[in-house]
Amino acid sequence: MTRPTQEALPEGPDKAVAVEAMFDAVAPRYDLVNRIMTFGLDRRWRRITVNALGLPDGAVVADLACGTGDLCADLARRRLTPVGFDLSAGMLAAAHSTAPLVRADVLSLPLPGSSVDGATCGFALRNLVDLTGFLAELARIVRPGGRIALLEVAEPTHPALRFGHRFYFTRVVPRIGAALSDGTAYRYLPRSVVYLPPVDTLVDAVASAGFPDVQRRTLSGGIVQLLVGTRS
């Protein structure tokens, strides 16, 4: 089983295999590395994501590419009813959430149409093989009037912030990852930003998939983006 290397970023089926293997490898220390490399800001970003859903108590929310269940835990604290889906068995084995967690490809979810009140996804859009297919699957499972909140990395627009962020993300983060977890994986993760489409293209894709009121906001100086929309 291959994993991403510095030489080339994988595409298609190779990407799916490589990303799954990578997350299996980093799972045991994934949460620790996240806390350190984000200075704990990841907790704030997830709280903002959950609050942005604006769903009532008890609403059923699918957390896609749920990893170790951080967003599921935040959804539960907000008195929502989460269920998590992830392809990585390693990440699910390391999960700390008490929510139901299902090993599944988020491009083909084991859910009926219009079966959930909302959906979240944290920092996984760039790891998907088919972003358009994922958005179509979101539109299929979320009921009309339901809400989505998609959290992903971004790049600041201010030149000085952009320079600092690029240096930290491409030079410092890989060193942290290599010291505490898996160096190959944390060299790949900063580079995986190139998989993301331009901002306008991404927003248009979410709107076209069935969330026409989608709004994008940036957090922490523009290093993170949040896309929120309502199923039409």
| pTM exceeds 0.75 | yes
Element (H, E) at 211: none
Structure tokens at 127: 């790891």
Mean pLDDT estimate for the chain = 94
Is the pLDDT reported for residue 129 higher than 70? yes
Of 93, 94, 57, the closest CA to residue 75 belongs to 57
Residue 150 is predicted with a pLDDT of: 98
How far is the CA of 59 from the CAs of 64, 117, 229, in angstroms? 16, 6, 16
Alpha carbons 95 and 66: distance in angstroms, whole number: 9
Alpha carbons 188 and 8: distance in angstroms, whole number: 9
Structure tokens at 200: 């306008």
Q: Phi and psi at residue 3, in whole multiples of 5°?
A: -130, 160
List the end-to-end C-alpha distance of the chain, in Å, as a whole number: 41
Beta carbons of 73 and 97 less than 8 angstroms apart: yes
Is the pLDDT reported for residue 226 higher than 80? yes
Which fold is adopted by the domain 12-230? Answer: Rossmann fold (3.40.50)
Percent of residues, the chain, with pLDDT higher than 70: 97
Query: What would the pLDDT profile of 15-60 be if each residue is shown by its tens digit?
Result: 999 999 999 999 999 999 999 999 999 999 999 999 999 999 999 9
